[in-house]
A = this chain, B = another copy of it.
Amino acid sequence: MTKLKKTYTNEDDLPVLGVEPYIELIQTSSSSDTNQEDAKLGLMLLWLSDHVLDVIDNELAPFGITESKLDLLLLLTLHGERRATPSALAKRLGITRASATSMLDWLEKRNLVVRNHSKEDRRKIYVSLTDEGRTFIAEVLPTYWSSCASNLIDLEPDERKVFEKLVSKLLTSIQRKLKVER
């Protein structure tokens, strides 16, 4: 009797649950000083956040670069004139200097950036984009921006306006909490 079903669905598959069972779980397992509505909304925001990063990852993959490395390249682009040291980049990216070193190794191996010793202070290194790096960024950015924009296509004009206000507010408050700045 279950044979027909088997052609459509794998009986071992876990069914899609949606958000409802999570709401029930919140009711039984959240602390009394947690607002349950907020927990639910926060969970949905967490899911959305996961997906937003997945979308970017997927779209950048064909270029052979990841979001974190592109972030570093963007930082160098925007600070054009100013000379950037690995330490300063690490600080601004919120990672350790050791992590910055390995990202820079990767980027330098592909000729996207170069390291130059400072002449005033020989402990320091200044990182800059190569012409190849600039060309690469110019190739990637249109996809990057369209990928960012693509997540919002279903919103109506007035919804976008409201959403921007809310995202901006949340961004400020979460950055304050995490003590990071962009």
Of B14, B19, B149, B169, which one neighbours A91 at CB under 8 angstroms?
B14
Is the beta-carbon distance between A29 and B145 smaller than 8 angstroms?
Answer: yes
Task: Report yes or no: B152 in contact with A182, Cβ–Cβ below 8 A.
Answer: no
- The answer to whether A46 and B39 touch (CB under 8 A), given A169-B154, A181-B16, is no
Given that A14-B79, A50-B53, A182-B18 are known contacts, is A141 also in contact with B30, CB under 8 Å in the complex? yes
Is A124 on the interface with B (CB-CB < 8 A)? yes
Contacts of A42 in B (CB 8 A): 145, 147-152
A153 touches B (CB below 8 Å): yes
Interface residue A25 (Cβ < 8 Å from any Cβ of B): yes
Nearest B residue to A33 via CB reads B146
CB distance from A54 to the nearest CB of B (A): 6
Query: Interface extent on A, as a size class?
Result: 35 or more
CA distance A47 to B85 in the complex (A): 23
A160 and B37 contact, CB distance less than 8 A: yes
Q: Using Cβ atoms and an 8 Å threshold, which residues of chain B touch A29? A: 137-138, 141-142, 145
A31 in the interface (beta carbon within 8 A): yes
Q: A17-B78, A21-B78, A55-B178 are contacts. A38–B85 as well, Cβ < 8 Å?
A: no
Are the C-beta atoms of B49 and A49 separated by less than 8 Å?
Answer: yes
